[in-house]
Amino acid sequence: MEQQTEISTIGEFGLIDRLTKNLEKINNSTVAGVGDDGAVVRYPDTDVIVSTDLLVEGVHFDLTYVPLKHLGYKAAVVNFSDIYAMNGTPRQITVGLAISSRFTVEHIEQLYSGIRLACEIYGVDLVGGDTTASRSGLVISVTCIGDAPKDKIVYRSGAKETDLICVSGDLGAAYMGLQLLEREKRVSNGDKDFIPKFEGKEYLIERQLKPEARRDIIKELAERNIVPTSMMDISDGLSSELLHICKASDTGCRVYEERLPIDYQTAVMAEEVNMNLVTAAMNGGEDYELLFTVPLHFNDEVSRIPGVKVIGYITKPEAGCALVTRDDTEIPLKAQGFNHMSKE
């Protein structure tokens, strides 16, 4: 086993030096990064978009089955996704860590290797952050700074009656990946030599442990000169995000069960754990796909974008928000995504 280094032996500044060694600037908007009391960024011609996500051990992730490198990658990517969801481009991130005494320098280097890999792939500069001690595991706070032309930024509040509701990728896979990981954790019963059974379900594991932000969809929309009327990324489940958009836009919606994009592996896993497939797709969360609305006349154009599916339409607010089943029954949407403030 690789020799582990206690963080106390090199101190906070020694740790920061190791984590940020050889950082190279990618974006012209990054004037100064790590090394001063604050980073300096410059956006002379665009509006700035800022998003922060907090990940807490035991609430958002379980290190029993989440590798630290994957955790770092995911922590960065979910922030990039928020910027893309406003039709922007992520440019810089800062990372705050609260670290308990059980973590060594090598552990934190693994975490940072995932963060830096995500930054490299998505063209984002790591420009600063902070580290401190924690008495209760690992806490990660990532703030992402991005930008977009003022007339291209998309909010939740712009959906209009008759707009088409579109979604990228497929739904429910990340949640089914979590169910699989939790099942194997229970079966292992703490046995370090236990070999989990993931054969045929690798896609679900990847969607849970290593999600990707859908910058490809943002690029496709831009190439077709389509600016959505509203947009969000799907972190808490399709149902919750639809309700957010409809509340902000003062509208209702109809989405169709038969149009929900669901991967085969998701369907198989849902059957194995005796879970309703539509519930998994509507309420699972952590898909980080893009949910957006476009005017009706873009129907043909948006339908030609690879990986995008039209799943419904926006209605008047008095019509409410509902899922239309295969037998034309309307079921009111409920926000049943992950409750971050739960006492459980």
Cα 260–261–262 angle (5° rounding)?
110
CATH number of 156-332: 3.90.650.10
Instruction: Name the CA dihedral angle for 175, 218, 152, 28, rounded to a multiple of 10 degrees.
Output: 110
Please give the share of the chain, as a percent, with pLDDT higher than 70.
92
Residues in the chain: 344
> Is the confidence at residue 338, as pLDDT, over 60?
no
Distances (CA, A) of 177 to 55, 81, 133, 180: 18, 19, 31, 5
The HSE-up count of residue 209 (CA atoms within 13 Å, CB side) is 21
What mean pLDDT comes out for the span 78-106? Answer: 95
Cα 279–51–254 angle (5° rounding)?
30
Distances (CA, A) of 84 to 228, 283, 334: 12, 22, 25
pLDDT 10s digits, 185-241: 888 776 776 677 788 899 999 999 999 999 999 999 999 999 999 999 999 999 999
Residue 180's pLDDT band, with cuts at 50, 70 and 90, is very high
pLDDT 10s digits, 267-310: 999 999 999 999 999 999 999 999 999 999 999 999 999 999 99
Which backbone phi and psi does 53 adopt, to 5 degrees?
-130, 140
pTM beyond 0.75: yes
What mean pLDDT comes out for the span 33-51? Answer: 86
> Is the confidence at residue 1, as pLDDT, over 60?
no
Residue 41's pLDDT band, with cuts at 50, 70 and 90, is confident
Are the C-beta atoms of 100 and 7 separated by less than 8 Å? Answer: no
Residue 129's pLDDT band, with cuts at 50, 70 and 90, is confident
Output the pLDDT for position 37: 75
> Is the confidence at residue 341, as pLDDT, over 50?
no
Topology of 7-148 in CATH? 60s Ribosomal Protein L30; Chain: A; (3.30.1330)
Q: Decide: helix, strand or coil at residue 24.
A: coil
> Is the confidence at residue 20, as pLDDT, over 50?
yes
Q: Which of 1-10, 38-47, 99-108, 198-207 has the lowest mean pLDDT?
A: 1-10
Q: Mean pLDDT, the chain, as a whole number?
A: 91
> Is the confidence at residue 66, as pLDDT, over 80?
yes
Type of residue at 160: K
> Is the confidence at residue 111, as pLDDT, over 60?
yes
pLDDT 10s digits, 305-329: 999 999 999 999 999 999 999 999 9
Q: Quick one: residue 137, left, alpha or beta (phi over 0 = left, psi -120 to 50 = alpha)?
A: left
Are the C-beta atoms of 290 and 85 separated by less than 8 Å? Answer: yes
Considering the chain, tell me which residue range(s) the CATH 3.30.1330.10 domain(s) occupy.
7-148
Residue 16's pLDDT band, with cuts at 50, 70 and 90, is low
Are the C-beta atoms of 128 and 38 separated by less than 8 Å? Answer: yes
Are the C-beta atoms of 165 and 253 separated by less than 8 Å? Answer: yes
- The pair of structure tokens assigned to 252 is 């209702």
Considering the chain, tell me which residue range(s) the CATH 3.90.650.10 domain(s) occupy.
156-332
The residues pairing with 48 across neighbouring beta strands, listed in sequence order, are 147
What mean pLDDT comes out for the span 148-176? Answer: 97
